[in-house]
Amino acid sequence: MDRLAGQNAASPGRLHMAAEPFARHLLEVGCGHQIYVEESGNPEGRPVLVLHGGPGGGCSPFMRRFFDPAHYRAILFDQRGCGRSRPQASVHANTTQHLIADIEVIRQTLGLESVLLFGGSWGATLALAYAQAHPDRVTGLVLRGVFLGTQGELDWFYGGGAGRFFPDLWAQFCEPIPEAERGDLIAAYHKRLFSTDLGRQGRYAQPWLMWENALAGLQSAAVSHAPSDYARAFARLENHYFTNRCFLEEGQLLRDRHRIEHLPAVIVQGRYDMVCPPLSAWRLAEGWPACDLRLIPASGHALSEPRILAELVKVMDAWRDEDRADPV
């Protein structure tokens, strides 16, 4: 879960200077998939792996700017089926377990012993899943807008919970679906997003994306339309993952938290996040001594929310300063 809007609306004064990648890669990861990977910042710096939202959101140059380029080696990649990865919008061999394996390919290809994980929304889900699978390969986690991939969270967003606060937008999301099918909107949209008619896929991709986009930002502006290729990839991939309950067992990420409780973590969570309500972040942090939960006032879900953005930069700068004070 994440959004397209607002990436250019954030105050540039709170971000680091834009750093052009010093390396780009297109990695073969099997089953016909190639994933786009880029590296920016300091080639000898502390490696931080950025996990974008969605599933299907892709990475953007904006995401490089949370990291001091003199200190961090920022690694961004487009997950299977989206962004500059190929084939676009493909759900073949595209599961959480495949993405975890892809991260291992990236880590090994780039010669990294371990990485700091930086992920928001679905990116936070994937960060937790990877860390729990490979805790010895992770140095810490910085998470935003926590989504644990549970049925309750999906019911909130696609079963009418969030719609109680946004009845007009909920009505727009439901309107393309016949009334008889509105009891399971994920399934109803799935049937249309995976139609053999590409035009039909595109027509249903836009309302799927716009429902999430409209709720993501409390302070940053939403967009009313997205490029068709982006919308199709986002909607198909996200719907595929949610149809399959994110390829996780119910409650898995909380159940297996003990595997990563030795790792330092910071959660930056919007107090008024309507896409991923704060309860999930609270449950994740509760009883985890090394986890610092920061509930950000007057903020929603989006990475570009001004206070969310500022807090994430603050977190990354603080870890930079700790590294300098206590070099490995």
Catalytic positions: 121, 273, 301
H-state helical runs in 70-150 = 96-109, 122-133
Q: What is the DSSP string of 238-289?
A: HHHHHHTGGGS-TTHHHHTGGGGTTS-EEEEEETT-SSS-THHHHHHHTT-T
Among 141, 59, 128, smallest CA distance to 100 is for 128
| CA angle (147 as vertex; 78, 92 as ends), nearest 5 | 40
CB 69 within 8 A of CB 41: yes
Three-state DSSP at 313 gives helix
Q: Which amino acid is at 258?
A: H
From residue 91, alpha-carbon distances to 31, 95, 155, 291 in Å are: 11, 8, 23, 34
- Paired with 47 in beta bridges are 73
